[in-house]
Amino acid sequence: MVATKSMRAAELLALGDDARMELIEGEPIPMSPTGNLHMFVVSELTLLLGIHSLRVQETDDAFKVLGHEGGFLLRSDPDTVLAPDIAILTRDQLRVVNRTSNDFCPVPPALAIEVKSPSDREAEIARKLAVYLEAGVREVWWIRPLAGQMTVHRPDRAPELYGSDETFASSDVLPGFLLRIGDLLSDSST
pLDDT along the chain (190 residues), means of 10: 73 84 91 87 93 89 85 94 95 90 93 91 93 97 94 96 94 93 70
Q: CA neighbours within 13 Å on the CB side: how many for 131?
A: 25
Give strand pairing partners of 51: none
Report pLDDT for 189. Answer: 44
Q: What pLDDT is stored for residue 59 in this prediction?
A: 83
Q: Are 113 and 141 in contact (CB under 8 A)?
A: yes
For residue 70, give every residue at least 6 positions away whose Cβ sits within 8 Å of its Cβ, in sequence order, or none.
83, 87, 104, 105
Domain 34-185 has CATH 3.90.1570.10: yes
Cα dihedral 144, 53, 48, 29, rounded to 10, equals -30
pLDDT at 187: 62
